[in-house]
Homo-oligomer: A and B are copies of this chain.
Amino acid sequence: MTYNIAILGASGYTGAELIRLIAGHPFMAIKALGGNSKAGQSMATVFPHLRHLDLPDLVSMEEIDFSGIDLCFCALPHKTSQEVISSLPKDLKIVDLSADFRLRDPQEYERWYGNPHAALEQQAEAVYGLTEFYREEIKGARLVAGTGCNAATGQFALRPLISAGLIDLDDIILDLKCAVSGAGRALKENLLHAELSEGYHAYALGGTHRHLGEFDQEFSQIAGRPVKVQFTPHLVPANRGILATVYVKGDAQAIHKEMKKAYSYEPFIEVLPFGEAPSTRHIRGSNFCHIGVVGDRIEGRAIVVAALDNLTKGSSGQALQNANLMLGIPETEGLMMAPLFP
């Protein structure tokens, strides 16, 4: 059985990553590629690395006939996504990669994103797309909201510890190092090679990054009480990867044991031996997340380090993993490729 797939926003990095992954998927066929700003162009023009594939040309979204589509990926910018999705057929299965349907509380959405939500009905039915923790809901969902790449990395490091009550909830620091493709293909001065390479810096300091909305929502729900973490992202001169260095108060050995247990059956989460820490270079281009736990010289403190590829496990790989579940396909289909190193 082959499912027909549409991708909206196919001219951006997450769109291209979806195509890369689906091209090797035995049960999916790409039937439509939407990209309004580049409608009419071939994918070989927009992304020459995909020129060997037999792909439909980019079209405007209005041109797509969704009647034959089994599942649609929306890799559109935030805010655009909710407008588009509210106009799509109500029974179309959708995996959204934007931030638009991640926050369940419309007021929280407005607080972090600055505008009232324009698709409240869809928001109400959306399931949060962190596969490993929402697997059953995702299987039955019509609309899945992909977790933010930073938010996913931080949650992989912290959810089992909060669930198990192993750490001090009032003293959690996430220091993230993010690669540049997470910023997308937007033309910004600070993303130019000449500006970015050979230097690095912190941004969105002090608790202003929007992915905090997801951390607050999820961690508070697990803990059954408000949890606020400190979160500082840094932009690093590399193209793919997120490394979360998470500082917690708790027993390192107990944390490692819990982590091993929590992820023991997960196909994409690798917990390293105690005392080892992961590197982004060892998950690049793959759907894997590597997690390490180390104890600090100061007793009662532990460092959890998680690494994943922001374009794969952090967005498009995660999206495909969810789509597999929604369509009844084995969850790992099309996603087991090894990382690219060097």
Residues A185 and B193 in contact, CB atoms below 8 Å apart: no
Question: Given the known A-B contacts A180-B194, A247-B173, are A19 and B338 also in contact in the complex, defined by CB atoms under 8 Å?
Answer: yes
Quickly give the copy total for this chain: 4
A282 at the interface (CB under 8 A from B): yes
In Å, the complex CA distance between A196 and B237 comes to: 12
CB of A69 to closest CB in B, whole Å: 22
Interface stretch of the complex, out of A79-87, A134-142, A238-246: A238-246
Interface stretch of the complex, out of A47-55, A98-106, A114-122, A148-156: A47-55
Contacting residue for A52 out of B247, B278, B288, CB 8 A? B288
Interface stretch of the complex, out of A59-67, A157-165, A205-213, A256-264: A205-213
CB of A201 to closest CB in B, whole Å: 3
Which of chain A's residues 300-337 have a Cβ closer than 8 Å to chain B?
301, 303, 305, 307, 311, 336-337
Question: Given the known A-B contacts A294-B205, A340-B20, are A270 and B51 also in contact in the complex, defined by CB atoms under 8 Å?
Answer: yes
In Å, the complex CA distance between A177 and B245 comes to: 11
Residues B192 and A185 in contact, CB atoms below 8 Å apart: yes
CB of A112 to closest CB in B, whole Å: 12
A16 at the interface (CB under 8 A from B): yes
In Å, the complex CA distance between A223 and B192 comes to: 41
Residues B49 and A281 in contact, CB atoms below 8 Å apart: yes
CB of A288 to closest CB in B, whole Å: 6
In Å, the complex CA distance between A171 and B338 comes to: 40
Q: Which residues of the other chain, B, contact A282 by a CB distance below 8 angstroms?
A: 48-49, 51, 199
Q: A23-B338, A49-B281 are in contact. List 15 more A-B contacts (CB 8 A).
A: A19-B338, A47-B341, A185-B195, A187-B188, A187-B189, A192-B192, A194-B342, A198-B240, A199-B279, A200-B243, A200-B281, A201-B279, A202-B277, A212-B297, A285-B285
A residues contacting B by CB (< 8 A) are: 13, 16, 19-20, 23-24, 47-53, 171, 173, 175, 177, 180-181, 183, 185, 187-189, 191-203, 205-208, 212, 228, 230, 232, 234, 236-241, 243, 245, 247, 270, 275, 277-286, 288, 290, 294-298, 301, 303, 305, 307, 311, 336-342
11 contacts between A and B (CB under 8 A): A52-B338, A173-B173, A193-B195, A193-B197, A195-B342, A200-B243, A201-B305, A205-B303, A206-B296, A208-B297, A340-B340
